Amino acid sequence: MTYRNIGIVIGFSAIFLVFTSNIVMNSDHFLQGAPFKKHKNNVSKFVKKLKERIKHQVEVHHHDIKKKDDKKKDDKKKDDKKTAIVQHEYNFADEGDNKRIDFNFAAAGDFGCSKNAENTVSNMEDKKPELVLPLGDLSYDKSANCWLDLISPFSNELKVTLGFHDVNDGAPKMNQYNDTFNMKEPFGSFDYRHVHFITMSSESEYQPGSAQYNFIIDDLNKASENKDIDWIVVTTYGPFYTSPSTHNAEKVLREIYHPLFEKYDVDLVLQAHNHNYQRTYPISYNSAGDSANPIVKNQNTTGYNNDTKGTIFAVVGTGGESFYPLASQAPYVANQIGGKFGFLDVDISNGNPHTKLTGTFYDNRGGNISDQFTIEKEIKNKDGDVQPEPQSSSDDTQKSINKDVNVQPEPQSSSDDTQKSSSDRDYLPSYGK
């Protein structure tokens, strides 16, 4: 019942109470007559009960109003508590470590705060990563409180990438991320154990001439010339490439930055936004045709090496916030997985003279391996004293991985065939961020 209806009932009850009171007063005079004296007691009892019933009804209405007011106050307190900004101080404590020893890092985006997200974080913990890379859309609430609590086991191993809901859900939430991670800009870079990591912000200005663009060009140039950097990994929320799903690829982002990534030999790009998992073959930018149809450089599902050019792009929007459908599989995608939450774990084997990157997607259900790939290459600086690792051919690596993961090699086709089939694809429309 609304407050308006309650007010109307109370008003009519009050009028009725006055009316019946007058009747009672008049009835007392009327009942003084001899014919009605004997009925006076019965009528008086009836009127008394009627008064008590009306009084009780008014009290009930008053109680209901107070109860609803108290509930509104309680709900407001809960909302205030939920949206109140809780300060944290998270970072990556080992940033800059340049030891030539093995390590692993974990990545996923589109978390939220559900039980599914809790499972993702718990399964990440099992792999004991030295570094965790959240890929955007971390919290879908008005504040980041729930997600920051959720990810707290990695409070000293975090480097975040911000997504649509992180940047566009209001200044308080954005400022909370800035304060928690001590971010002066939503983009940046850092080194860790011979890997150079670049964090992009696809939700911020990135056009040529912007601060982000100038930073990334300068940063890529320095990283490519640094003899102590063997791998370059980029994180971004908006996907450069994607199979048909809820969100389209970011065309402008791709056309500006993929040529730069190719020029400076970026090895791996980690993305989110679509709530599924996808991993491309090593691909190069298609400057002669439609940029949405990249050139596949190697159609093995894994076992890439120094002779393999091109960059691998992976969408890992599997942190825990719902699923997005995959209508079909783009020809440049080596493997894709829908309907599974999980994360990508990347192992870096820092040998000398070779180093290896192994990416493994773990499904939350039972920790099953749903995808795996390797890249192996020579290090730039061979002056260290690390012993060489036993070498294996790319064919052996391919067979071993396929046996473990039950992934069959894709049929071979020419670059022209790839371009032709790619041009016939129909992409689903974007439904907004």
pLDDT per position in the chain (433 positions), as tens?
555 555 555 555 555 544 545 544 454 454 455 555 556 667 677 767 777 778 777 777 777 777 776 666 565 555 545 557 677 889 999 999 999 999 999 999 999 999 999 999 999 999 999 999 999 999 999 999 999 999 999 999 999 999 999 999 999 999 999 999 999 999 999 999 999 999 999 999 999 999 999 999 999 999 999 999 999 999 999 999 999 999 999 999 999 999 999 999 999 999 999 999 999 999 999 999 999 999 999 999 999 997 889 999 999 999 999 999 999 999 999 999 999 999 999 999 999 999 999 999 999 999 999 999 999 999 999 876 454 444 444 444 444 444 444 443 333 333 343 333 333 333 333 333 4
Residue with tokens 């993929």: 258
Strand 195-199 and strand 231-235: the pairing is parallel
Q: How many other CB atoms are found less than 10 A from the CB of residue 279? A: 23
Residues 6+ apart with CB under 8 A from 425: 244, 328, 330, 331
User: Are 201 and 168 a contacting pair, CB within 8 Å?
Assistant: no
Longest alpha-carbon distance in the chain: 126
Residue with tokens 């008014």: 58
**Residue 6, burial from CB neighbour count under 10 angstroms (0-12, 13-18, 19+):** middle
**Amino acid 433: pLDDT:** 41
Tokens of 363: 């499904």
Tokens of 134: 């959240």
DSSP-assigned letter for residue 64: H
**Amino acid 162: pLDDT:** 98
**Amino acid 399: pLDDT:** 42
Cα-based torsion angle of the residue sequence 179, 159, 238, 217 in order, rounded to the nearest 10 degrees: 100
DSSP 321-370: S------S--TTEEEEE-S--EEEEEEEEE-SSEEEEEEEEEETTTT-EE
Strand partners, 335: 279
CA–CA dist 177, 183 (Å, integer):
8
Number of alpha helices (DSSP H) and beta strands (DSSP E) in the chain = 10, 14
CA–CA dist 258, 111 (Å, integer):
26
**Amino acid 209: pLDDT:** 98
Strand 195-199 and strand 188-192: the pairing is antiparallel
**Amino acid 37: pLDDT:** 56
